[in-house]
Amino acid sequence: SQTIHQWPATLVQPVGSPLSLECTVEGTSNPNLYWYRQAAGRGLQLLFYSVGIGQISSEVPQNLSASRPQDRQFILSSKKLLLSDSGFYLCACPIQGAYGYTFGSGTRLTVV
């Protein structure tokens, strides 16, 4: 079964600083990968998805970007963080041979 690794688990960053969150997947190959953000008390918002290496689709215009340098690696970045970027960031991929998504354990980002 596949496993999604995300790090770090918690991050506190000042406004205007850069960001790099990494997601790696084990147990599957060429998966669709997704980045979601969950603001406090709100639902999951789809930010980016990727169907393969170097292929990124953006759902919401903002100061975030994503890259997929390797088949099982998905990176979320920002050059300058805003206060509104605070939230719980989750990486996901389809459950192999079944339905639904598997999520990573998430990164809780607080921009101060």
Positions touching other proteins (CB under 8 A) are: 32, 34, 36, 42-46, 49, 51, 57, 59, 90, 92, 94-95, 99-106, 108
The 8-class DSSP code of residue 8 comes to -
Between 17 and 62, whose beta carbon lies closer to other proteins? 62
Between 69 and 100, whose beta carbon lies closer to other proteins? 100
Between 14 and 97, whose beta carbon lies closer to other proteins? 97
Burial of 54 (0-12, 13-18, 19+ CB in 10 A): exposed
Q: Smallest gap, in angstroms, from Cβ of residue 85 to other proteins?
A: 19
Contact 50, 72 (CB under 8 A): no
Between 78 and 107, whose beta carbon lies closer to other proteins? 107
Contact 68, 13 (CB under 8 A): no
Angle (CA) 98 33 19, round 5°:
145
Q: Smallest gap, in angstroms, from Cβ of residue 108 to other proteins?
A: 8
Q: Smallest gap, in angstroms, from Cβ of residue 49 to other proteins?
A: 6
